[in-house]
């Protein structure tokens, strides 16, 4: 794979030629096997729901997951997924308690009204500042975790990149060899180096991905239209993710339970990575997610590099502070409890806060359509109103 950027992209789809065949049969076989599993798990349930006339994108999502996993390995040469993008979004009407989310105020200006939330049959605003979204996974996750969000955003007319950070997902690097945050986020930084003049993105980070997007916000402020933190580490300047977690009474003990340290350089050296106890994923991270998604996570999650977690970020008001920030709180989160999220919001107030009810730490699994609606709403916030 060389030093190629490892990411899933929906931009610029075109047919692959025979010269792009995969050169790694064992890994390809594993992807084909996982694709078959995803297809078989979803077929019977989708038949039942389609008979009831309900909106159900699960089959499309599972099929997309299989395509993404296959194409992700096969297409790191710049080719993209060969499926069309629709220009509309279909889902239940917004504005009611059934949405599962509420909007709360922050110390900064309120930026939104209900009228801008996309409704059935309403085309996605074609005058958006940008329709390109970059999704950044959290610690231990990979681009694979966004498969439902990618599907929904693409159907709504967005261009989507979901990146595998160094040593994550199917990125080839050894997690234990990552020495700092710059190395960890290099695949993300590479996306911004390749952006055209005047091109901007909406940058979305989950979990420790919040620290990662903050790092990039400081480097590329002119290329980021908005930043979205989903149950994410939204740090203040001079703070590390470990600082944030250790300050929370009771939470540090919770963090230690599903994780163990890896000492690749010996017990007398600092830890090199954090291993996730996958037997505790259901209770700690995915308490509202489906069995299928928990199974996907259990076979896909990798250790978290330790050095980036302890690295302090230094963020300026001219760069990081110039970008509108939005925070999405996950109210049923056992891994990033609501008090910890509130603490970050109060210490570093964003433009606007959304509360996503009934979600665990992975709303892209447990509340994908509600999360999608929030992301669409954020994309439609006019810059002049921020």
Catalytic residues: 207, 333, 361
Count of residues making up the chain: 386
Structure tokens of 258?
């599903």
Q: How many C-alpha atoms does 356 have within 13 Å on its Cβ side?
A: 29
Contact predicate 334/362, CB 8 Å: no
Q: What does the alpha-carbon distance between residue 299 and residue 305 come to, in Å, rounded to a whole number?
A: 18
Using alpha carbons, select from 133, 130, 126, 134 the residue that is nearest to residue 198: 130
Most distant CA pair in the chain, distance:
61
Q: CB-based contacts of 175: which residues, under 8 Å, 6+ apart?
A: 167, 168, 272, 273, 302, 303, 304, 305
Residue with tokens 């709180």: 329
Q: Residue 138 has which token pair?
A: 């959290």
Per the listing, tokens 């163990």 go with 260
CA nearest 369: which of 94, 135, 49?
94
What's the alpha-carbon Rg for the chain, to the nearest Å?
A: 20
| Cβ atoms < 10 Å from Cβ of 240 | 18
């Amino acid at each position: 794979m060389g030093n190629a950027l490892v990411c899933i992209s929906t931009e610029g789809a075109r047919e692959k030629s025979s010269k792009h065949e995969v050169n790694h049969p064992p890994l390809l076989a594993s992807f084909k096997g996982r694709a078959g599993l995803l297809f078989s798990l979803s077929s019977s349930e989708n038949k039942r729901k389609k008979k009831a006339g309900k909106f159900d994108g699960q089959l499309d999502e599972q099929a997309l997951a299989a395509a993404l996993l296959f194409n992700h390995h096969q297409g790191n040469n710049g080719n993209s997924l060969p499926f069309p993008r629709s220009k509309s979004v279909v889902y239940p009407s917004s504005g009611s308690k059934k949405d599962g989310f509420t909007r709360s105020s922050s110390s900064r200006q309120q930026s939104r009204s209900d009228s801008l939330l996309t409704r059935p049959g309403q085309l996605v605003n074609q005058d958006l500042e940008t329709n390109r979204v970059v999704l950044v996974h959290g610690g231990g996750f990979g681009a694979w975790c966004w498969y439902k969000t990618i599907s929904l955003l693409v159907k709504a007319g967005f261009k989507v990149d979901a990146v595998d950070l160094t040593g994550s997902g199917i990125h080839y690097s050894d997690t234990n060899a990552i020495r700092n945050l710059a190395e960890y986020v290099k695949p993300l930084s590479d996306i911004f180096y390749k952006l055209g003049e005047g091109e901007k993105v909406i940058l979305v980070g989950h979990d420790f991905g919040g620290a990662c997007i903050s790092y990039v916000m400081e480097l590329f402020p002119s290329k980021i239209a908005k930043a979205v933190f989903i149950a994410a580490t939204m740090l203040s300047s001079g703070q590390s993710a470990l600082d944030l977690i250790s300050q929370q009474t009771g939470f540090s003990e919770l963090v230690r339970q599903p994780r163990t340290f890896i000492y690749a350089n010996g017990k007398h050296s600092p830890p090199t990575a954090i291993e996730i106890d996958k037997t505790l994923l259901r209770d700690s991270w995915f308490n509202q997610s489906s069995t299928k998604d928990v199974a996907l996570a259990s076979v896909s999650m990798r250790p978290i590099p330790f050095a980036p977690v302890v690295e302090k970020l230094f963020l300026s008001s001219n760069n990081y502070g110039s970008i509108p920030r939005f925070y999405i709180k996950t109210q049923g989160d056992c891994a990033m409890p609501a008090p910890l999220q509130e603490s970050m919001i109060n210490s570093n107030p964003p433009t606007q806060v959304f509360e996503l009810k009934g979600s665990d730490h992975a709303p892209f699994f447990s509340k994908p359509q509600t999360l999608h609606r929030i992301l669409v709403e954020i994309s439609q916030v006019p810059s002049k109103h921020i």
